[in-house]
Homo-oligomer: A and B are copies of this chain.
Amino acid sequence: MLIKKSKKERQQLLLETIEENPFVTDEQLATKFGVSVQTIRLDRMELSIPELRERIKDVAERNLENEVKSLPINEVIGEIIDIELDKRAISIFDVKEEHVFQRNGIARGHHLFAQANSLCVAVINDELALTVRSNVVFIKPVRAGDRVVTKAIVRETNTEKNRTYIDVISTVNNETVFKGEFEMYRTKGEGEQK
């Protein structure tokens, strides 16, 4: 196992080792590569790899940020840019890296659904609006960088049944990428508020 590698090989391996396990000390690395601790330190210097404690701190800090970041599936998904209560509404949603499958770069369906669903809730002029049922179609893949424009149009409100029916169409560059029908529950009929 302890066949002496060249400096370059060792440094490459060093990078990989630390990448994989940032918690390893110089001492352990020295033993692993069969060189002195000083050599490891020279290597780290050349590769500008920080010392153990700094590495650990970086990991800790980086992930403390992530915790804050992982909450954004929160209020309204997308930004509402136009709304006429109980009639129609438009929102835009900029697709970012975190919304797509890293494997193929295509947006996860539930983000498009979330934008449409949020918009339906928003367009209803009522204290309580809940989604009862929906039929949706994902027509064309959406990718990071795309700006999704979603329009919700109220088709019908049935006051006896406390229901509102909404049609939703999402487009990217004027091409339809998503369509849906939403049946929403509401406590009061339109215009009956307050």
Q: Residues of A at under 8 Å CB distance from B? A: 22-23, 53, 56-57, 59-64, 66-67, 71, 73-75, 77, 98, 101, 103-104, 106, 108-111, 113-114, 117-118, 121, 127-128, 130-138, 141
Contact = CB atoms under 8 A, between A and B. Distances in A.
A62 to B, nearest CB: 8
Contacts of A101: 75
Q: Which of A104, A106, A134, A137: most chain B Cβ within 10 A?
A: A134
B56 A71 contact: no
Contact of A133 (B73, B121, B130, B136): B136
A56 B60 contact: yes
- From A74, A108, A111, name the one whose CB has the most chain B CB atoms within 10 angstroms: A108
Contacts of A73: 110-111, 114
A22 B57 CA distance: 11
Q: Max chain B CB contacts within 10 Å: which of A22, A73, A77, A110?
A: A110
B63 A59 contact: yes
Ranked nearest first, the 9 interchain pairs of A and B with the lowest CB-CB distance are: A63-B63, A110-B114, A109-B131, A59-B60, A60-B60, A110-B117, A135-B135, A133-B137, A56-B60
A129 to B, nearest CB: 9
A59 to B, nearest CB: 4
